[in-house]
Amino acid sequence: MNRYVIPIAIFAVLVVLLGVGLTINPRNVPSPFIGKPAPHFDLISMDFPDQRMTPQKLLGRPWVLNVFASWCPTCGDEVPQVSELSRHVLIIGLNKEDEEAKAKAWLQQHGNPYAMILPDKDGKVSIDWGVYAVPETFIIDKKGIVRYKYLGAIPDQELRNKILPLIQELMAEPA
Amino acid sequence: MMRFLILFSLLLTFVVPVHAGIEVHKFTTPEQEARFKKLTEELRCLVCQNQNLADSTAPLAKQLREDAYEMIRNGKSDKEVIDFMVQRYGDFVLYSPPLKPTTYVLWIGPFVLLLLAVIILQLIIRRSRNKTVTIDNNEFEKARKLLAGEDEK
């Protein structure tokens, strides 16, 4: 009896480790930007062509950068969540490697939750932000520090349990 | 024969688009080219995670290859290219992660496990060597008969 205890215990540990390994999402790569200043950009707004936007201009208020594109099917799925979020915080839409006409048609169809849309035509800003899939969502605090990142369409649960409480927390922080 | 030649030349036109898809990177020195090859082989493509930048056909990998190419051509060092990638995508882009507190388990773990296995093996061997075998007289007699071939009868 006793001689079977150890092998069974080892086997159980292996099963648990394998189970954990299989349920981890390999795409959930921790962002190296969390806790670091938001990467720089200087882009001309799509909706207000006389305005340029930089992260410096947004200092003093929490904001969200949501990367989207009309060619990305998942982006349409998260529009309800992004719209809900837009009622609590300013959201900048980074339009990754898209055509203006297509992006505008897409926004007409799905609704526009963004306070401002910045076209990232050649994808350089996306690379500076470490974006490797669309959609991606970053939350930046009043001091311009990236505090959170979500990869993929935001699920309702994530929005209620993590994102909205974090926005509230950031609103309360001193500038 | 003429018909064959026409057919053949028509077939050749199919070849052209295939060549158009291959990226051409021109370097000023062969040393730069070697560095480019080595770097893109060591960096992971994040879209298709089990491929490196050199092999991947994903648009992101293509763009990062272009970035690496530009940087090498502009005389940036290997370290600068790697820092550019790590700064944006984290240690995950490196196929061989750096040795630092969060990766100690990764680097040292296998050796610790090997050491443990050797220690356990040694314990088992020593224990089985020290085992003294006790045989009572009946068994001894039985064994003697077996050896003499008397049991069968």
Prediction ipTM score: 0.71
Whether pLDDT at B19 is above 50: no
Mean pLDDT, chain B, as a whole number?
83
In the numeric block, which tokens belong to residue A155? 């699920």
Cβ of residue A19 closer than 8 Å to a chain B Cβ: no
Nearest by CB to B49, from A26, A30, A32: name it.
A26
Nearest by CB to A32, from B60, B67, B87: name it.
B87
pLDDT score, position A128: 93
Interface of B with A in 68-87 (CB under 8 A): 86-87
- Collect all residues of chain B within an 8 Å Cβ-Cβ radius of residue A30: 90, 92
Q: Are B40 and B53 in contact (CB under 8 A)?
A: yes
Residue A96 pairs in a beta bridge with A120
A19 HSE (CA, 13 A, CB side): 6
Q: Are B81 and B48 in contact (CB under 8 A)?
A: no
Cβ of residue B94 closer than 8 Å to a chain A Cβ: no
Task: State how far the Cα of A25 lies from the Cα of A148, in Å rounded to an integer.
Answer: 17
Mean pLDDT of A22-27: 77
Q: Which is higher by pLDDT, B9 or B59?
A: B59
Question: What pTM value is reported for the model?
Answer: 0.72
- Which of A162-171, B1-10, B100-109 shows the highest mean pLDDT? A162-171
Calculate what percentage of chain B has a pLDDT beyond 70: 88
Beta carbons of A31 and B90 less than 8 Å apart:
yes
What Cα–Cα distance (Å) separates residue A65 from each residue in A108, B73, B117? 20, 33, 50
Whether pLDDT at B102 is above 60: yes
CA–CA min distance A69, chain B (Å): 14
- Per DSSP, the three-state class of B147 is helix
Residues in chain B: 153
- H or E segment to which residue B93 belongs: none
What is the layout of strands, in order, in the sheet containing A63-68?
A: A116-120, A90-96, A63-68, A136-140, A146-151
- H or E segment to which residue B134 belongs: none
Whether pLDDT at B17 is above 80: no
Tokens 């080219």, located at residue: B33
Interface mutation vs chain A, best among B50, B81, B88, most A CBs within 10 Å? B88
Tokens 């974006």, located at residue: A131
Beta carbons of A32 and B64 less than 8 Å apart:
no
Beta carbons of A132 and B63 less than 8 Å apart:
no
pLDDT band at B22 (very low <50, low <70, confident <90, very high): low
Residues 6+ apart with CB under 8 A from A103: A46, A69, A70, A95, A117, A119
- Per DSSP, the three-state class of A162 is helix
Nearest by CB to B90, from A29, A128, A133: name it.
A29
Mean pLDDT of A42-62: 93
Cβ of residue A150 closer than 8 Å to a chain B Cβ: no
- Collect all residues of chain B within an 8 Å Cβ-Cβ radius of residue A133: 46-47
Task: State how far the Cα of A51 lies from the Cα of A33, in Å rounded to an integer.
Answer: 26
Lowest mean pLDDT among A85-94, B14-23, B55-64, B125-134: B14-23
- Collect all residues of chain A within an 8 Å Cβ-Cβ radius of residue B47: 132-133
pLDDT band at B6 (very low <50, low <70, confident <90, very high): confident
Cβ of residue A32 closer than 8 Å to a chain B Cβ: yes
Q: What angle do CA A45, A47, A48 make, to 5 degrees?
A: 65
